[in-house]
Every structure is written in C-alpha cells, then in structure tokens.
Chain A
Amino acid sequence: MTESYSPLDSRVYAMLRDSRMIIVCGSGGVGKTTSAAALGVAAATHFDKRVLVLTVDPARRLATALGLEALGNVEVPVALDGARGSLTMAMIDTKSSWDDMIRRHAPDAATRDRVLANDLYKTLTSRFVHSHDYVVTERLFDARESGNFDLVIVDTPPSRSALSVLDAPRRMEQFFGSRLLRLLTAPSQSRLLSLASRPFFLVADRILGAAFLSDIAEFFTLFRTMESPIVARARRVGALLSDSATSYLVVTSAEPVAMNEAGYLVEALRGRRHRLEAVLANRLVPRRLSDGAPQRAAALASNSDPVSQALAAAEREIAAVASREAEVLARIGTWEVDVLASESRAGDITDTGSLRGLAQDIRSLR
C-alpha cells in the first residue's frame, strides 16, 4: 500500500520521476552509497518503475546496507513491501565485466581466447585501478540499453575517481585513435624504418624493456580487432553521460574536506555540461533537537547540579554542531545549486525500511 508511506519532498519526487539515470558522486564516507540505495528504494516504492541501483565501488558497501550477502556482477532483486515498482541491485566486478565485453566484441573465437588468456590482459583487468572506470560506463550503458530498467541509480567511487569514470569513454575513443596504438601494433620492421617513431621506441625500450614492449604490442594488436565496436559504444556511452535525462547528485557531509570535494565536483560537472541535479548535505543534526538548544543550554547553566551541567553541555555541543552545519549550508547556497538536506538517523541503516525512511526525510532547502 503506497498510501502507508509518507510522501517524498517535492524536489526529490521530481528528480526520481524525471530522471532515467542518476549518478551519485561525492567524497568517501559521506553516505553516498546509502543515499543511492535509499533513492532506489524510494523510487521503486513511489513510482511504477523498474529501478536498478549499481555500485561501482570495489568494496561491497551496498551489500551491507541491504543485508544482501552475495552481491556480484549479477543483478539481485530486492524485496520491497507495498512498492509500486521493483528494485534490483548489482555490483560491478571489474574482471568479469571486462571478460563479458571481450566476449561480446571479439571478431572470432580464436581472438577472444587469446585475449582472455593473455597475461597482460589478466593483470590489467584484475589488478589496476583505471581498468575499472571503463567497464563502469559499459555497465551503465548495458543497463539502459537492455530496456529492463526505467531508472538506473549509480553509486560512483569516491570523488576524483567519479570523474575518471566519466572520462573513460572519451579516453577509450582517443586511445584507439592514437598514433601510439598504430605505432605499437605496426609490424616490427616498418617500426624500425620509421624515423618518426624511433625516439619513442628508444625511450620506451629502455623504460619498459623490449620483451615487455612486444607483449604489449601483441595484446594491443589483438585488442585492435575490436576497435570499431568498442569505439562506437564508447561514443554512445559518452553521449548517455551528458544526456539531459542523466542527472548528477553530489553528496557531502558538513565536514570541511567533504565540502571542498563537493565544491570541486560541482565545478567539474558544470565544466562538462552535465545536468547537475542538486547537492545533498547528508548526516545533519536533527533540527527538532538543535532548535532552541542555545536557549536551553543558558537556562540549564544557571542550575549548579551536575545533571543540569551535563545537559547544558549536551545542548551546547548540539548547538555548536548545528551552527557549523548552518555555515556549511550557507556556503553550498553560494554555488547556486538546489540544496537537499538529510538528517542523521538513530541506528544503522540495515534494511529497506530504514532506507525508505532515509529518503522520505530528505528535504529541499532552496
């Protein structure tokens, strides 16, 4: 029964109604994953939508929030009481996502098997950070293209990594278009003859070692056979990220570092002309507690008994935190974005009920 749930803030309601993809970014430890999950629960509860929440962080945060044990590359349906729509969760596993991509794009079985068995490929995809970024965008794209979901909510890795995820399709495209790849994959004789490429190989051989260089060349020669499907997709993924139905939500806490990061992200997203939906200030002190705290602290301070003194100290502490948060919110206001605020809740977020409550408590400030 939808009626049994309290309504969402109108700003949050409109965001969930109008977006087809919401990319949640922000510094680490500000409740980004929890916010993404909460918005997913709220969207599936209040709208007749098929909602997917994707987490791209290598750590299994979402699984913890939802009490799901094995959240892997597969999509896991989440049971929601009285929901109008449906909710699915998935985590992106870098290695298996790359393998899927190679299987899909390889021109023939022989190339596919050689790439999958290549040592360089295995190490690159399983051990190195930036290999993650591209498959994230692949998964977003898949989720949208599949037609299985009406809204995709993405929890990105902390901060700057979120931007490298956004840049990944363009980098992939540039990589295939680069002279370097052509140089590397050219037959070795013509390489030596080419006057232009000689300085490059002189340096590259000395840094990387000739044997490694030829390993790289072999890998990328195989990889190039998949150039046109991968480049074509990278372009479409890039277009999807700047689509007007793709909105970005920057999450922050009142901590100075998280705020600096949020400010940076707001600027960066604007610079990329992405649709910045709002800044969500998370984990604020409940106003029902902090309102009037300084007055109550002053009244209590006039009593000398230890209990009154302890209560006065509590009132002063909550008043101090609230006034610091007010300064932070005022600063976000100067960025000329919509501001959403969410109060910290008692107890851990452990189930879908508390996630739903979290989303319902988000209110817009301007």
Chain B
Amino acid sequence: MSAALARVAAAQGKRVLVCEMDDKGSLAAYLGRNELGFAPTEVSPGVFAMAMNTEDSLREYIRLFLRLPIITSLAPLARIFDFVANAAPAVKEILAVGKLCYEVRERNYDIVIVDSEASGHFVAQVSAPDALATLVRIGIVADQTKWMSDLLHDHSVSSVLAVVTPEEMPVVETIELRERLAKATPIDFAGVVVNRMPRDTVSDADLATARSIGTAQASVAVAEWLVDRRRAAQAQVARLAEALDQAALATVVETVLETVLESPDASSPSAVVDHIVDEITAHLGGAA
C-alpha cells in the first residue's frame, strides 16, 4: 500500500520519500528492487525509497545537529549506540522517527510516506517523542523532541492511515489501534484502507438462479464459497465503519477504500502494486 501511494503521489507530480521501518525488505520487492538502504534512492520518477536503520540515523544526527568534531575513532560511537539501542530503547525509536521528521521539516520531499511497523509497535514509535519529552525536560534531546512532537501533532502535516484486511482480527486490531493512538498522542487519524477485498465475481442473483437449476453442483459450491467469502469480508468492513462512526469520525467512513488483491495476475509483488495504483487512481477519479 505504501509503495502504491508513493507512485500515485509521484504521478501527480510530487517528490515522494517512502520509508520502510521494519527492515523486512518487502517494500523493496514491491518497488521492484532487491534491497533498499538508509540513503534514499530514486526507484521510479519522483519516488525515493529508503529503509530505516537507526545506527545510520544516529551517525547522521550527530553530524547534522551536534556538529561534533570528527570523532577520531568510531569505537565510542559504536559503544554509545549499543547503549542507546539496548538500554534506552526510547532513543532507538526517536532516531527513526527523528530522521523522518527531519526530512519533513527540511522540506526535502513533498510527501514522506512511512511503511510503519505492526500496529502494536507503531503506537510506541509514533508517540516516542511525547514519551521522551516527559523524561528529558532539558538538553539537546528535549529540544529535539519538541519540534518532532509539533510536526507529528500538526494535523495539516502528519496523518496516520491504517491499512486493514477485511478479517475479524485485523479489524479488531485496527479499531483498538485507533483507540490506543488517541490515548497516546494527538496525531491525526486520517482513515482506513481496506486491502485485499475479495472480488465480486458472482452475484447473489446468479448464484440463486444456478442453485434453482440444480446442475453443475461442483461449480455452484465454488460460487457459494466465493460469495460467502465476500459476504464475510463485507461484514467486517461494515463492523469497521460502524466502530469508526461511533467514535464521531464520519469522514473516516467515507475514506474507506476497497482494493482487490485477489487478482489472477497479481503473481509478483510489483504487479500487485500496479493493481493497487489502478484502484486508487480510479477511486480518486470517482471522488473528484
């Protein structure tokens, strides 16, 4: 989804940075690359991609903000990194979030799209500047967390877009994510995208007719299975829409977008992205 959004934004003439946070390499696959590094590379016109690496982020941070003299040996830096990574994990999260906020603040890109970690970890990550600010009230870190929080809290700058598959547990988690997020930080929750919606291959009417004819029973069973699957998915979408609506977020319901991934040609990751790009583009055209 992040890869597809990046390509849609770039098609509108924007300069886009897309960043994978959890270093599992799937963003690279979706963008047709073998791997991504900390330094952004232009993977298609207007789309720059990177993979988060907190150690590189720390190096860049020290270079940019502290303007320390070149450290003669890297050993102290490595030791500090061990410390921050293992003993004070807050710093690891802040380095990741900080790098992205820096790119936003410097306006190096028109849009920064973050392919975040799984929902359980995401809340901790995005609220890390707030959490750290309660711990460290003075010093460079305190100054640093202030501007990050300001950027993240500004609804005209930052938004969270949740992506969910229409299944029970992901839907429950998304509803919980929104609640936990609201408790942890005042960041904007822009909406939910429902991904991998099963296709509408057979209509209820066709299925009813096929049943009444009584032949081709094996095919009717296949059609029933597909119809049931779609119906179950629709029920989950309805449940999601209802939960978000109850939280007085009527606009969110309107942004629920269904994309289809069960396409027969969706065999390679980049073909999947092609498909979602088409879907989003069609959706934007319909909304305009």
A interface list, Cβ under 8 A from B: 27-29, 33-34, 57-61, 64-65, 119-120, 123-124, 127-131, 157-161, 171, 174-175, 178-181, 184, 199-200, 203-204, 206-212, 215-216, 220, 255-257, 260-261, 264, 286, 289-290, 292-293, 296, 300, 306-308, 310-318, 320-321, 324, 327, 344, 346-349
Chain B residues, Cβ within 8 Å of A120: 135
Do A220 and B87 touch (CB < 8 A)?
A: yes
With A64-B169, A203-B80, A317-B264 as known contacts, state yes or no: A300 contacts B219, CB within 8 Å. yes
Chain B residues, Cβ within 8 Å of A311: 202, 206, 210, 216, 219-220, 222-223
Of the stretches B43-51, B99-107, B119-127, the one at the interface is B119-127
Bitwise interface map of B from 165 to 190 toward A, beta carbon under 8 Å scored 1, else 0 = 10111101100110000000000000
Do B202 and A313 touch (CB < 8 A)?
A: yes
How many residues does chain B have at the interface if contact means C-beta atoms less than 8 Å apart? Answer: 81
Excluding A34-B169, A212-B135, A346-B228, 8 further A-B contacts by CB distance (< 8 Å) are A123-B134, A128-B128, A160-B22, A203-B68, A208-B140, A261-B24, A264-B25, A310-B210
- The 3 A-B residue pairs with the shortest CB-CB distance, nearest first, are A209-B139, A320-B264, A58-B120
With A57-B120, A120-B135 as known contacts, state yes or no: A346 contacts B225, CB within 8 Å. yes
With A208-B141, A209-B140 as known contacts, state yes or no: A296 contacts B216, CB within 8 Å. yes
Chain A residues, Cβ within 8 Å of B11: none
Complex Cα spacing A261 to B25, Å: 9
Partner of A318, one of B80, B121, B127, B226: B226
Give 11 pairs: A residue, B residue, CB < 8 Å, sorted on A. Answer: A57-B120, A61-B172, A123-B135, A203-B66, A212-B141, A264-B24, A310-B207, A316-B264, A317-B262, A321-B262, A327-B267
Partner of B139, one of A211, A264, A315: A211
Do A127 and B124 touch (CB < 8 A)?
A: yes
Interface of A, secondary structure class, is helix
Tell whether B250 is near chain A: CB-to-CB under 8 Å: no
Complex Cα spacing A252 to B262, Å: 17
Q: What distance in Å separates the Cβ of B266 from its nearest Cβ neighbour in chain A?
A: 8
Look across to chain B and name the residue whose beta carbon is closest to the beta carbon of A27: B24
A-B contact count (CB 8 A): 214
Chain B residues, Cβ within 8 Å of A60: 172, 176
Complex Cα spacing A87 to B104, Å: 50
Tell whether B288 is near chain A: CB-to-CB under 8 Å: no
With A178-B82, A212-B135, A296-B218 as known contacts, state yes or no: A310 contacts B121, CB within 8 Å. no
Complex Cα spacing A208 to B77, Å: 14
Of the stretches B89-97, B150-158, B240-248, B275-283, the one at the interface is B89-97
Partner of A180, one of B82, B127, B131: B82
Tell whether B284 is near chain A: CB-to-CB under 8 Å: no
Complex Cα spacing A347 to B231, Å: 10
Do A289 and B121 touch (CB < 8 A)?
A: no
Chain B residues, Cβ within 8 Å of A261: 24, 26
Chain B residues, Cβ within 8 Å of A216: 87-88
Partner of A59, one of B139, B176, B232: B176
Q: What distance in Å separates the Cβ of B118 from its nearest Cβ neighbour in chain A?
A: 5
Complex Cα spacing A210 to B137, Å: 11
Do A310 and B140 touch (CB < 8 A)?
A: no
Partner of A204, one of B23, B80, B117: B80
Look across to chain A and name the residue whose beta carbon is closest to the beta carbon of B120: A58
With A159-B24, A296-B219, A315-B222 as known contacts, state yes or no: A310 contacts B201, CB within 8 Å. yes
Do B66 and A207 touch (CB < 8 A)?
A: yes
Complex Cα spacing A163 to B32, Å: 26
Chain B residues, Cβ within 8 Å of A181: 87
With A124-B89, A212-B136, A314-B223 as known contacts, state yes or no: A29 contacts B167, CB within 8 Å. yes
With A307-B209, A324-B267 as known contacts, state yes or no: A199 contacts B76, CB within 8 Å. yes
Complex Cα spacing A120 to B169, Å: 33
Do B22 and A64 touch (CB < 8 A)?
A: no
Do A306 and B139 touch (CB < 8 A)?
A: no
Chain B residues, Cβ within 8 Å of A210: 139
Look across to chain A and name the residue whose beta carbon is closest to the beta carbon of B265: A320
Chain A residues, Cβ within 8 Å of B213: 307
Chain A residues, Cβ within 8 Å of B121: 58, 129, 157, 161
